[in-house]
Structure 1
Amino acid sequence: MSAIPFNDRPATLDGDRVLRMQRRLPGPIERVWACLTESELRRQWLAAGTMDLRPGTSFELVWRNDELSASAAERPEGFPEESRAVCQFIEVEAPRRMRYRWPGVGEVCFELEPLGDEVMLTLTHRGLEGERLLLNVCAGWHAHVARLVAQLEGRAAPSLWATWARCRRDYEAALALN
């Protein structure tokens, strides 16, 4: 059995259902930070939306996952074509860390650490309540971050919905949730 490449390892979950995922990305750190914070760059891997990078400010994320997929037909049943969330920054330390509240979904933190020519991204998501949300968020971050890795490496990004579906099955099996 071959080892899973670092940038495709599954997220880990602790006993409090805190998701943690790490990825090595090509630097410099400012380039990675731009992909996290600038709407046009972030839209290519996650969601659009202008951010005022100050603690206490709110911002809207707009997901159009069909645009990140090979076909809208891949979209799982029950998911809308577009979804939106108004989040609020708790902490911003450009270009190394941002933490925000995502109402009903928890708290998200992105941390960036320079490692020579690379940048270590650590994504932490706290407050995941319920098995369905837990599985959807694990698969969602895995699929979205796979697109970020591809974007920064300058290669074609995988289809979001196809990756999400595969990852959701994998996380469900790994976590033995039904």
Structure 2
Amino acid sequence: MTALATMLADHGELTGPDTLRIARLLPGPIERVWAYLTESALRRQWLAAGEMVLEPGTGFELVWRNDELNETPGQRPEGFPAEHRMRGQVTAVDAPRRLDITWGTASAVRFTLAAQGDQVLLTILHQRLPDRASLLNVSAGWHRHLDMLEARATGRPAPDFWSGWQRLKADYATRLPE
């Protein structure tokens, strides 16, 4: 296994007390993966819908409907609504290599894409997570949403979202420091 493959086989990691880094190697070309990040119709298949103008300073709204990401989403955890909405703002764009956005009012996310032969390394850096509960939810969330993206990008059936998310949240609780 190469160093890159070993890194990608692992879960997301903390690069600081409030920053998560997670990466996934996906089938290219880079423009295809960029489209999955930036086009609402494609992004809703793995993460959240919402039109986004790719100009710094523009606002957007993401709309999650995780129950709709696959045929059998599993049991949604108590306290999680069927739909979740979040406002954000585009802060930097270097198409098709980098997209920076605010994540609600508290944190920020950077998506970086790098060609790796006929594949694309997608790295997500989620910064300024306010507390451990947010860190665990976001870690499991990005991990599971990337599982969904990988399934879509490779043409495999999407996995059960919620049971996987709950398993990953418990796993991250043991992996990430208190």
| Matching of residues 154-169 of structure 1 within 5 Å | 154-169=155-170
* Residue 72 of structure 1, CA deviation: 6.1
- Say how many residue pairs are matched: 174
SS of the aligned residue for 2:78 comes to coil
* Residue 22 of structure 1, CA deviation: 1.1
Paired residue for 2:115? 114
* Residue 73 of structure 1, CA deviation: 5.6
Instruction: Give 1:151's aligned amino acid.
Output: R
Paired residue for 2:49? 48
SS of the aligned residue for 1:133 comes to helix
Q: Which stretch shifts more, 85-94 or 67-76? A: 67-76
CA distance in 2, matches of 1:134, 1:70: 28
Paired residue for 1:88? 89
* Residue 26 of structure 1, CA deviation: 0.4
Query: In 2 relative to 1, CA 67–6 (structure 1 residues): closer, same or farther, beyond 3 Å?
Result: farther
Paired residue for 2:39? 38
| Matching of residues 15-164 of structure 1 within 5 Å | 15-71=16-72, 74-164=75-165
Contact 1:54 1:89 in 2 (8 A): yes
CA distance in 2, matches of 1:36, 1:47: 10
* Residue 17 of structure 1, CA deviation: 2.0
Instruction: Give 2:169's aligned amino acid.
Output: R
Superposed CA offset, 1:138-173 (max 9, x none): 000000011001111111111111111010000001
CA distance in 2, matches of 1:54, 1:68: 28
Q: TM-score normalised to the size of structure 1?
A: 0.92
Contact 1:6 1:23 in 2 (8 A): no
CA distance in 2, matches of 1:136, 1:59: 22
CA distance in 2, matches of 1:5, 1:132: 27
Contact 1:69 1:159 in 2 (8 A): yes
Instruction: Give 2:104's aligned amino acid.
Output: P
CA distance in 2, matches of 1:7, 1:143: 14
Q: Which runs of 5+ in 1 are unaligned?
A: none
CA distance in 1, matches of 2:74, 2:164: 14
Q: Which runs of 5+ in 2 are unaligned?
A: none
